[in-house]
Structure formats: C-alpha cells, structure tokens
Amino acid sequence: KNEVEQSPQNLTAQEGEFITINCSYSVGISALHWLQQHPGGGIVSLFMLSSGKKKHGRLIATINIQEKHSSLHITASHPRDSAVYICAVITGNQFYFGTGTSLTVIP
Amino acid sequence: SQTIHQWPATLVQPVGSPLSLECTVEGTSNPNLYWYRQAAGRGLQLLFYSVGIGQISSEVPQNLSASRPQDRQFILSSKKLLLSDSGFYLCAWSRGSIGTQYFGPGTRLLVL
C-alpha cells in the first residue's frame, strides 16, 4: 500500500467547473506539498501546508491533520489548468509522493 | 530573486557510459538541494538530498551518486549507465527541510 493515495487518477472537466483532487496519507507528516506538472515536464510547487487552508488565485488547498487528508480545489477551471497534480508528504527526512492526478479541462 | 538551472535539457547516452548532470541555484545561500527522478508513466522518486556542502543523503540504493562541491551546485553522476536509468531528472531547492520546493526545468535522459 502506498503511503500517499490520490484520487481520482484521471479527471476531465468542462471549462468553468469546480474541481477537487484528494490526497490521503498514512504517515505522520511535517508538511504536505501540492505540485503541478505541466505536459512538458516542468514542475511548480503550488502549496506547502502543515495545517488549515491556503488560497492562491483560483487554487485552494486544505489539510485535515487528524483525518490525514488534503484536498486541492480549482475554482472556475480553465484549459491552462490541464496538468498532472501531485501530492507529496514529508515526514522527518522521508518524502512520499502520490502517483498524481491527470487533469484535462476542455474548452 | 532565486533561479535554478539544470543542464543539459536532453541527453541520449549509451548503456555503460558515464553521466554528469548539473544543477545550480542563484539568489539564495545554504539551500537544501534535491535530485528526483520520474520514470516514464510513474511518480516522482527522491534520489538524493543535501543540507550542505559535502553532505549527501541517499534515499534509494542505485547506480547513481550525487555530490555538492559548492553551496549552490548539485551534481548527479553515474560511472556506468543502465537502461533503467532512463527518465526525467529534476533538481529542486528549498529553504529548510519542509519549506516550499522550487524545481528546475529538468533533464530528459534516454539510455540506449
């Protein structure tokens, strides 16, 4: 069993839809990262969370430490949001990565 | 502002040949540095991380090694490449162990 599980694995949405990607983990963590990987391979760090909620533009990330669960929300989705979204957790010096959620937003 | 560079962008190497990928960071000092690999169709895997010059921690046993000869330089090497070393290699830096990580553009390595 992977330490980090993401769902869904693949997601197709119409432009403008509200999108939620979920991440569950089984280890105690110091922090959780949400990463975005574009089709060309480049990776951008979207959020680093250790508690609560963060918002950046149309993106919102939440984490529930007790339930070991985090969600990434995209409001008013746009085709440029199409990418793979990766959840990663850090515990001590160990890094665990989810396998990613592939998001396609259709115009 | 901080920037992170990786080169080369793409590399095709024969099996058994050596490898050297370089990563440099500008605009910050004493960063934590990381090497990741993403094999085709698979998730990210942390290979090495470094908290300072000459300090390297390896996450998985493998055919690769890393070195940090200068504060903002991180090098990934191999003496003899294997087919299984093919993949997308990413360097990243952060301030501290749990800070936001900033990724380089990556190097696509194909071993034939």
Q: Is the pLDDT of residue A1 over 70?
A: no
Range with the lowest mean pLDDT among A25-29, A91-95, B64-68, B94-98?
A91-95
Q: CA of A85, closest CA in chain B: separation in Å?
A: 11
Question: Which tops the pLDDT comparison, B11 or A2?
Answer: B11
User: What's the confidence (pLDDT) of residue A59?
Assistant: 96
User: What's the confidence (pLDDT) of residue B2?
Assistant: 84
- How many beta-carbon contacts under 8 Å exist across A and B? 49
* pLDDT, tens only, B31-65: 999 999 987 777 788 899 999 999 998 877 678 99
Which one of A5, A65, A95 would you mutate to disrupt binding with B, by most B Cβ within 10 Å of its Cβ?
A: A95
Quick one: tokens of B43? 């998730």
Whether A56 contacts chain B with CB within 8 A? no
Q: CA of A43, closest CA in chain B: separation in Å?
A: 6
- Contact yes or no for B49/B90 (Cβ under 8 A): no
Residue among A30, A35, A98 whose CB faces B98 most closely = A30
User: What's the confidence (pLDDT) of residue B61?
Assistant: 66
B43 with A99: Cβ contact below 8 A: yes
User: What's the confidence (pLDDT) of residue A40?
Assistant: 78
User: What's the confidence (pLDDT) of residue B80?
Assistant: 95
The predicted model gives A88-106 an average pLDDT of 88
User: What's the confidence (pLDDT) of residue B42?
Assistant: 74
B100 with A30: Cβ contact below 8 A: no
A50 with B98: Cβ contact below 8 A: yes
Starting at the edge strand found earlier in the chain, the sheet holding B65-70 runs: B3-7, B19-26, B73-78, B65-70
Whether A34 contacts chain B with CB within 8 A? no
Residue in the block written with tokens 């470094």: B50
* Chain A nearest-CA residue for B93: A45
Average confidence score pLDDT of chain B: 91
* pLDDT, tens only, A7-65: 999 999 999 999 999 999 998 888 899 999 988 778 888 998 989 999 999 999 999 99
**Which among B20, B18, B22, B17 has a CA at the least distance from the CA of B5?**
B22
